[in-house]
Chain A
Amino acid sequence: MDTIDRAIISATQSGLPLLSQPYHAVAKQINQPVEVVKERMQAMLENGQIRRIGAVPNHYKIGYKANAMSVWDVPEESIDELGKLIGSLPYVSHCYQRPRFLPEWPYNLFAMLHGTSKEQVSEQANQLKELLGDKCRQYELLYSTEILKKTGLRLKSQ
């Protein structure tokens, strides 16, 4: 990250200006030509440093009232196979292996489930449980009850 990229990130991390020419506005803010801002952002988009430019909906507000983090205790040796299987389901948005903390946290496979109701999400969890079969030693559903913060990346000012 050089100083120009860093300045662009700082200027846009809370959002793109809602102005007719947003990249011009960013360019003016960081004292760079607009062509540089556009080229740098295009390059960051191509190399994956920017995943995408777009909108992030609040899933509660658009109707996904039930959002659960399902956590599963499965054998380490089967986790690649099981992770891919679970990750391929249409209602799973993220699927990761994470470390256990025994004894209080035995779960190593995480899958985020989204639905319009708790009933729908618990039905999704039942399908996962069936797919995992006897590989699933135990599981839990952790519903989000409140968004406490959602700001995304923030660089500290230097």
Chain B
Amino acid sequence: MIFQTYLNLYMDSNQLDIIDKKIINSLQGGFPICDNPYQQVAGELGINESELLHRLDYLLSDKTLTRFGPMYDIQKLGGAFSLCAMRVPESKFAQVNETVNAYPEVAHNYKRNHEFNMWFVLATETPQQIQETCNRISEETGIRVYNMPKLKEFFVGLHFTID
């Protein structure tokens, strides 16, 4: 069962018009598998297909959307996910960031305001590759990688609605 929470926001972003917002809100919920899916979605949004494609291209290129497409669950595909943290000295941060991001197993990486200042998600095709990747990153950077896999999931799901 999928739980979705709706957060409403008053935008301070002026460059998105009402159609962009409708596209963003609508396309978080799903996209059809059929011969002409953009045409179908465009029809539901009251625009034509080429406008939808053009706007999606723009929203992706200006990074309002980080991606558009199927979201794969690597655990259900036999692989694994884990959240990992590092305490990176500020003087080495850029260099370590470059090293860490070069790993294809690193799906997301965030800088956070804490002694543990680098937080990344590993996604690997087999569960044992998580620890192997942590070890390789540790060896390459000389900094300990804390592997913090989820032990229990209490909630996941958020739909960002913009007004």
Q: Considering only CB atoms and an 8 Å cut-off, how many residues of chain B contact the other chain?
A: 81
0/1 interface trace, chain B 24-36, chain A, CB 8 Å (1 if under): 1001111101111
Q: Is the CB of B33 within 8 A of A84?
A: no
From B70, B111, B158, B162, A16 is in contact (CB under 8 Å) with B70
Interface of B is mostly: mixed
Q: In whole angstroms, how far apart are the Cα atoms of A154 and B73 in the complex? A: 12
Interface of A is mostly: mixed
> Total contacts A to B, CB within 8 angstroms?
251
Q: Is the CB of B162 within 8 A of A63?
A: yes
Q: Assess whether B57 is interfacial by the CB under 8 Å rule.
A: yes
Q: Assess whether A3 is interfacial by the CB under 8 Å rule.
A: no
From A53, A59, A154, B69 is in contact (CB under 8 Å) with A53
Provide the residues of chain B in CB contact with A146, threshold 8 Å: 110-111
Q: Assess whether A94 is interfacial by the CB under 8 Å rule.
A: yes
Name the interface residues of A50-105: CB closer than 8 Å to any CB of B: 50-59, 61-64, 69, 79-80, 83-84, 86-88, 90-99, 101, 105
Q: 6 additional contacts, CB 8 Å, given A61-B13, A93-B5?
A: A38-B34, A62-B162, A92-B5, A96-B150, A98-B151, A152-B71
